[in-house]
Structure 1
Amino acid sequence: MGGAGVQRFADLAEHAAAAAVSDPWRAIAGACCGNAGTGHFLLDTADFTGEARYRTRAEVIAALIEAQHCESDGLRLVADATSGSEYGNGAAGILDVLLRLRHGGTRPWTVSWPPGPPTSARP
Protein backbone atom coordinates (compact mmCIF):
# COMPACT_ATOMS: atom_id res chain seq x y z
CA MET A 1 0.00 0.00 0.00
CA GLY A 2 1.52 3.30 -0.95
CA GLY A 3 0.65 6.88 -1.71
CA ALA A 4 -3.09 7.48 -1.54
CA GLY A 5 -3.80 4.26 0.38
CA VAL A 6 -1.34 5.15 3.12
CA GLN A 7 -2.65 8.72 3.27
CA ARG A 8 -6.23 7.41 3.57
CA PHE A 9 -5.15 5.19 6.47
CA ALA A 10 -3.45 8.17 8.14
CA ASP A 11 -6.59 10.29 7.69
CA LEU A 12 -8.77 7.59 9.26
CA ALA A 13 -6.30 7.20 12.12
CA GLU A 14 -6.52 10.96 12.76
CA HIS A 15 -10.33 10.77 12.99
CA ALA A 16 -10.11 7.75 15.30
CA ALA A 17 -7.54 9.49 17.52
CA ALA A 18 -9.78 12.55 17.83
CA ALA A 19 -12.76 10.37 18.77
CA ALA A 20 -10.73 8.33 21.26
CA VAL A 21 -9.61 11.35 23.25
CA SER A 22 -12.87 13.26 23.05
CA ASP A 23 -13.91 12.39 26.63
CA PRO A 24 -11.22 10.27 28.33
CA TRP A 25 -12.47 11.11 31.84
CA ARG A 26 -15.53 8.94 31.20
CA ALA A 27 -13.58 5.98 29.78
CA ILE A 28 -12.45 2.98 31.79
CA ALA A 29 -8.71 2.61 32.32
CA GLY A 30 -8.23 -0.80 30.66
CA ALA A 31 -6.24 -1.80 27.60
CA CYS A 32 -9.11 -3.59 25.88
CA CYS A 33 -11.40 -0.63 25.24
CA GLY A 34 -10.30 2.04 27.67
CA ASN A 35 -7.67 4.71 28.18
CA ALA A 36 -4.72 2.30 28.14
CA GLY A 37 -5.89 0.98 24.77
CA THR A 38 -6.28 4.56 23.56
CA GLY A 39 -2.75 5.27 24.75
CA HIS A 40 -1.44 2.36 22.69
CA PHE A 41 -3.40 3.53 19.64
CA LEU A 42 -1.98 7.04 19.98
CA LEU A 43 1.56 5.68 20.27
CA ASP A 44 0.97 3.50 17.21
CA THR A 45 -0.29 6.54 15.32
CA ALA A 46 2.75 8.57 16.42
CA ASP A 47 5.03 5.79 15.16
CA PHE A 48 3.17 5.52 11.86
CA THR A 49 2.89 9.23 11.08
CA GLY A 50 6.04 10.49 12.77
CA GLU A 51 3.96 13.23 14.43
CA ALA A 52 4.85 13.98 18.06
CA ARG A 53 1.37 15.33 18.85
CA TYR A 54 0.05 11.77 19.12
CA ARG A 55 2.70 10.86 21.69
CA THR A 56 1.79 14.03 23.59
CA ARG A 57 -1.86 12.91 23.61
CA ALA A 58 -0.78 9.49 24.92
CA GLU A 59 1.12 11.24 27.73
CA VAL A 60 -2.05 13.16 28.61
CA ILE A 61 -3.94 9.86 28.78
CA ALA A 62 -1.24 8.46 31.09
CA ALA A 63 -1.56 11.52 33.33
CA LEU A 64 -5.31 10.94 33.48
CA ILE A 65 -4.76 7.29 34.48
CA GLU A 66 -2.41 8.57 37.19
CA ALA A 67 -4.96 11.13 38.38
CA GLN A 68 -7.58 8.42 38.79
CA HIS A 69 -5.49 6.08 40.93
CA CYS A 70 -6.18 5.31 44.56
CA GLU A 71 -4.22 3.77 47.39
CA SER A 72 -5.33 0.90 49.59
CA ASP A 73 -3.23 -0.54 52.40
CA GLY A 74 -0.20 1.23 50.98
CA LEU A 75 -0.72 -0.22 47.49
CA ARG A 76 -1.17 2.02 44.47
CA LEU A 77 -4.23 0.88 42.50
CA VAL A 78 -5.47 2.04 39.13
CA ALA A 79 -9.12 2.85 38.58
CA ASP A 80 -11.25 0.13 37.01
CA ALA A 81 -8.71 -2.63 37.49
CA THR A 82 -11.58 -4.70 38.83
CA SER A 83 -10.40 -7.78 36.98
CA GLY A 84 -7.26 -7.95 39.06
CA SER A 85 -4.05 -8.27 37.13
CA GLU A 86 -5.31 -9.57 33.77
CA TYR A 87 -4.38 -7.74 30.58
CA GLY A 88 -7.58 -6.57 28.87
CA ASN A 89 -9.24 -4.75 31.75
CA GLY A 90 -6.83 -5.26 34.61
CA ALA A 91 -3.65 -3.76 35.91
CA ALA A 92 -1.33 -5.60 33.48
CA GLY A 93 -2.69 -3.85 30.40
CA ILE A 94 -2.67 -0.48 32.10
CA LEU A 95 0.90 -0.95 33.29
CA ASP A 96 1.89 -2.07 29.78
CA VAL A 97 1.04 1.26 28.13
CA LEU A 98 2.76 3.17 30.93
CA LEU A 99 5.91 1.08 30.43
CA ARG A 100 5.74 1.62 26.68
CA LEU A 101 5.53 5.36 27.19
CA ARG A 102 8.60 5.30 29.41
CA HIS A 103 10.74 2.76 27.57
CA GLY A 104 9.44 2.76 23.99
CA GLY A 105 8.72 -0.27 21.88
CA THR A 106 5.75 -1.50 19.92
CA ARG A 107 2.28 -2.53 20.99
CA PRO A 108 2.21 -6.05 22.35
CA TRP A 109 0.30 -8.82 20.61
CA THR A 110 0.48 -7.17 17.17
CA VAL A 111 2.72 -7.23 14.13
CA SER A 112 4.79 -4.09 13.85
CA TRP A 113 5.33 -2.08 10.68
CA PRO A 114 8.20 0.15 9.67
CA PRO A 115 7.77 3.64 11.17
CA GLY A 116 7.61 6.64 8.92
CA PRO A 117 5.36 9.39 7.67
CA PRO A 118 2.31 8.47 5.59
CA THR A 119 3.88 9.80 2.41
CA SER A 120 6.70 7.25 2.48
CA ALA A 121 6.47 4.20 0.26
CA ARG A 122 5.45 0.99 1.99
CA PRO A 123 5.64 -2.56 0.64
Structure 2
Amino acid sequence: MEAIYDPSGEVVAWLDPPDFVLGLDGAVLGWLNHGAVIDRTGRQVGSFAHGHFRDPDGAVVAWMKGATGPSPTKPIRTVKPAKPVRHMRPGRPARHGRFITSAPVPVWSYLSIEEFLSPDGGG
Protein backbone atom coordinates (compact mmCIF):
# COMPACT_ATOMS: atom_id res chain seq x y z
CA MET A 1 0.00 0.00 0.00
CA GLU A 2 1.17 3.50 -0.83
CA ALA A 3 0.27 6.55 1.25
CA ILE A 4 -1.93 9.34 -0.13
CA TYR A 5 -1.27 12.78 1.40
CA ASP A 6 -3.42 15.87 1.85
CA PRO A 7 -2.24 19.49 1.38
CA SER A 8 -0.76 19.54 4.90
CA GLY A 9 1.34 16.39 4.34
CA GLU A 10 -0.87 14.12 6.46
CA VAL A 11 -1.68 10.61 5.27
CA VAL A 12 -5.41 10.64 4.49
CA ALA A 13 -5.85 7.44 2.48
CA TRP A 14 -3.96 4.54 0.90
CA LEU A 15 -3.63 3.28 -2.66
CA ASP A 16 -3.87 -0.49 -2.57
CA PRO A 17 -2.51 -1.82 -5.86
CA PRO A 18 -3.60 -2.09 -8.44
CA ASP A 19 -6.39 0.47 -8.12
CA PHE A 20 -8.25 0.59 -4.80
CA VAL A 21 -8.34 3.82 -2.77
CA LEU A 22 -8.73 2.90 0.91
CA GLY A 23 -9.61 5.05 3.88
CA LEU A 24 -7.42 5.03 6.98
CA ASP A 25 -9.69 2.33 8.39
CA GLY A 26 -9.15 0.06 5.36
CA ALA A 27 -12.60 0.57 3.80
CA VAL A 28 -12.77 1.09 0.04
CA LEU A 29 -13.46 4.74 -0.81
CA GLY A 30 -13.16 4.39 -4.58
CA TRP A 31 -11.15 3.11 -7.53
CA LEU A 32 -8.83 4.29 -10.24
CA ASN A 33 -9.84 3.41 -13.78
CA HIS A 34 -7.65 4.50 -16.71
CA GLY A 35 -6.84 7.85 -15.11
CA ALA A 36 -10.34 8.45 -13.75
CA VAL A 37 -11.12 8.46 -10.01
CA ILE A 38 -14.40 6.62 -9.40
CA ASP A 39 -16.48 6.78 -6.19
CA ARG A 40 -18.39 3.81 -4.71
CA THR A 41 -21.48 4.59 -6.83
CA GLY A 42 -19.56 4.37 -10.12
CA ARG A 43 -19.46 8.13 -10.68
CA GLN A 44 -16.26 9.77 -11.91
CA VAL A 45 -15.25 12.43 -9.38
CA GLY A 46 -11.92 13.50 -10.80
CA SER A 47 -8.68 12.29 -12.31
CA PHE A 48 -5.43 10.67 -11.24
CA ALA A 49 -2.18 11.24 -13.12
CA HIS A 50 1.49 11.56 -12.21
CA GLY A 51 0.73 10.95 -8.51
CA HIS A 52 -1.94 13.66 -8.17
CA PHE A 53 -5.63 13.21 -7.40
CA ARG A 54 -7.39 16.14 -9.09
CA ASP A 55 -10.92 17.51 -8.82
CA PRO A 56 -12.96 18.32 -11.97
CA ASP A 57 -11.40 21.80 -12.07
CA GLY A 58 -7.86 20.34 -12.22
CA ALA A 59 -6.93 21.37 -8.64
CA VAL A 60 -4.97 18.93 -6.45
CA VAL A 61 -7.05 17.15 -3.80
CA ALA A 62 -4.31 14.76 -2.67
CA TRP A 63 -0.91 13.51 -3.80
CA MET A 64 1.51 10.65 -3.49
CA LYS A 65 5.26 10.49 -2.96
CA GLY A 66 7.03 11.14 -6.26
CA ALA A 67 4.13 13.14 -7.77
CA THR A 68 5.19 15.28 -10.73
CA GLY A 69 3.68 17.93 -12.97
CA PRO A 70 1.82 21.16 -12.18
CA SER A 71 1.12 21.31 -8.45
CA PRO A 72 1.24 23.69 -5.53
CA THR A 73 4.26 23.52 -3.23
CA LYS A 74 4.05 20.27 -1.31
CA PRO A 75 4.63 20.20 2.44
CA ILE A 76 6.94 17.86 4.29
CA ARG A 77 5.24 14.49 4.61
CA THR A 78 4.29 13.43 8.13
CA VAL A 79 5.09 10.06 9.65
CA LYS A 80 2.90 7.38 8.10
CA PRO A 81 0.37 5.71 10.36
CA ALA A 82 0.17 1.93 10.43
CA LYS A 83 -1.32 0.46 7.28
CA PRO A 84 -4.94 -0.56 7.80
CA VAL A 85 -6.42 -4.02 7.66
CA ARG A 86 -8.16 -4.38 4.31
CA HIS A 87 -11.93 -4.70 4.44
CA MET A 88 -13.81 -7.07 2.18
CA ARG A 89 -13.83 -5.66 -1.34
CA PRO A 90 -17.27 -4.53 -2.50
CA GLY A 91 -18.46 -5.28 -6.01
CA ARG A 92 -17.80 -2.49 -8.46
CA PRO A 93 -20.88 -0.56 -9.55
CA ALA A 94 -21.70 0.13 -13.18
CA ARG A 95 -19.68 3.06 -14.49
CA HIS A 96 -21.44 6.30 -15.22
CA GLY A 97 -20.28 8.38 -18.17
CA ARG A 98 -16.83 9.96 -18.07
CA PHE A 99 -16.37 13.69 -18.09
CA ILE A 100 -13.61 15.80 -19.51
CA THR A 101 -11.40 17.12 -16.73
CA SER A 102 -9.83 20.54 -16.78
CA ALA A 103 -6.14 21.01 -17.42
CA PRO A 104 -4.00 20.45 -14.29
CA VAL A 105 -3.54 23.63 -12.27
CA PRO A 106 -0.96 24.25 -9.52
CA VAL A 107 -3.46 24.97 -6.73
CA TRP A 108 -4.96 22.98 -3.87
CA SER A 109 -8.59 21.92 -4.15
CA TYR A 110 -11.08 23.04 -1.51
CA LEU A 111 -12.21 19.39 -1.23
CA SER A 112 -10.85 16.91 1.31
CA ILE A 113 -10.28 13.34 0.11
CA GLU A 114 -13.46 12.30 1.96
CA GLU A 115 -15.54 15.01 0.27
CA PHE A 116 -13.92 14.21 -3.08
CA LEU A 117 -14.84 10.51 -2.89
CA SER A 118 -18.17 10.94 -1.12
CA PRO A 119 -21.16 9.57 -3.02
CA ASP A 120 -23.11 12.54 -1.59
CA GLY A 121 -21.28 15.24 -3.46
CA GLY A 122 -17.80 16.66 -3.68
CA GLY A 123 -16.28 15.95 -7.07
Same-fold call, TM cutoff 0.5: no
Normalised by the length of structure 1, the TM-score is 0.27
Normalised by the length of structure 2, the TM-score is 0.27
Structure with more of its chain in helix, by fraction? 1
Structure with more of its chain in strand, by fraction? 2
Larger radius of gyration: 1
